[in-house]
Amino acid sequence: MKFLGKRPAPTGAVANATTRQRGNAAEDQALAYLQAQGLQLLERNYRTPGRGGGEIDLILRERGGTVVFVEVRSRSSNAFGGAGSSIGAIKQQRVVFAARHYLLRYASPPPCRFDAVLIEGQVQWIKAAFDAQ
């Protein structure tokens, strides 16, 4: 059903932010958290060229050399399954596609994994959240 009326205006600074602004704020929070854990930023918002490609929110390197591809998800509540449930199969495929494209720059690809950082009031880091299948 299409909503034809005017939606009530949310209150507060965060509620007035655009989706992009909220997403950037979540990525900032996730990046600060991961850097505090010792990871080093390699790329932010990496996109493959052309239409229908993929995008990776954060690409970092662990001290041991593992490249970590991170999907950041933020939700104000855990209704509808929360932030984690929004990383479905299609999103995972797009992240994996972008990661494969990114890894082409290496003569010998390093070990890597796919993590998720979920922000629902607090930061939750899920290592190896999904595989490249």
Mean pLDDT of 105-124: 92
Taking CA atoms, 69 is separated from 26, 80, 113, in Å, by 16, 25, 6
Query: Domains along the chain?
Result: 17-130 (3.40.1350.10)
- Grade residue 115 by pLDDT with cuts at 50, 70 and 90: very high
| Predicted pLDDT of residue 104 | 94
From the list 88, 71, 74, 70, the residue with the least C-alpha distance to 23 is 74
pTM over 0.85: no
| Predicted pLDDT of residue 40 | 98
Sequential DSSP letters for the chain: ----SPPPPP-SHHHHS-HHHHHHHHHHHHHHHHHHTT-EEEEEEEE-SSTT--EEEEEEE-TTS-EEEEEEEE-SS-GGGTTGGG--HHHHHHHHHHHHHHHTT-SSPPPEEEEEEEESSSEEEEEEEE---
User: Could you give the percent of the chain with pLDDT greater than 90?
Assistant: 52
Residue 73 has pLDDT above 70, yes or no: yes
Lowest mean pLDDT across 11-25, 39-53, 92-106: 11-25
